[in-house]
Amino acid sequence: MATVTCVCEKTFEADIPESVDLAGEPDALEQILDGRYLTFSCPHCGHRVKPEVPLRVTDSRKGIDMFLVPERERNRYLLGLTEYPEAGRIVIGYAELVEKLEIYRAGLDDSAIELIKYYLLAKVGAGITPAIFFRSITEDKLVFEIVGLRDDEVGVIKIGRETYDRALDELPEKRREEPYSSFLEPPYVSINKIEIEEK
């Protein structure tokens, strides 16, 4: 059990697991993807509370092994001030966890996706730092959402499968070059690594 604080400033106890195996909990994947996982109703005011806590997410059938670092720990983790258990992938924040699970569900390589995201963001221009997330494959197009180009708007970018295939082919070379090696090095494979460093 853990103590959860609501926006009403009252606390309550909730059963928060340290890990989840998607192979053993068939509903967990959909609950994570739609935001219901680890969401609790405050017994005092009824508000829905979603505490972001460290969580290991595995799938023993598919070899998935991820560890969720809470968003509030992002800078401390990147600066090496906080250590977490070793995992195949580190994700920071719930949004990154959802994205990685969508990537694996689509059967794609997350490193190639991060390389594509880097190319897309390089076209945005200086002074703008939007967030970009892979969402799905639709009609053989990779669909990304981009947030932060305009206030209160979410853009959608569709990329042909051939672009993904090219990025996949480029990975061995890019992993040896900067700035690519900075964000392609496991366990935290994310362009958000270099965005933080360059701010």
Number of domains in the chain: 2
Q: Which of 105, 126, 155 is the last residue of a domain?
A: 105
Copy the structure tokens of residue 89: 């992938």
Is residue 73 located within the same domain as residue 160?
A: no
Domain of residue 185 covers 109-199
Is residue 121 located within the same domain as residue 188?
A: yes
| Tens digit of each residue's pLDDT (9 = 90 or more) over 155-181 | 899 999 999 999 999 999 999 999 999
Is residue 6 located within the same domain as residue 37?
A: yes
Is residue 83 located within the same domain as residue 135?
A: no
Copy the structure tokens of residue 26: 């068939």
Give the whole-angstrom CA distance, residue 195 versus residue 198: 5
Is residue 77 located within the same domain as residue 124?
A: no
Is residue 67 located within the same domain as residue 128?
A: no
Is residue 181 located within the same domain as residue 120?
A: yes
Q: Which of 63, 84, 105 is the last residue of a domain?
A: 105
Q: Before 51, cis peptide (omega within 30)?
A: no
Number of H helices, E strands in the chain: 7, 11
Q: What angle do CA 52, 57, 63 make, to 5 degrees?
A: 160
Give the whole-angstrom CA distance, residue 134 versus residue 156: 10
Q: Which of 105, 132, 156 is the last residue of a domain?
A: 105
Per-residue pLDDT of the chain (199 residues; tens, 9 = 90+): 889 999 999 999 999 999 999 999 979 999 999 999 999 999 999 999 999 899 999 998 988 999 999 999 999 999 999 888 899 999 999 999 999 999 999 999 999 999 999 998 888 765 567 889 999 999 889 999 998 777 778 889 999 999 999 999 999 999 999 999 999 999 999 999 885 333 3
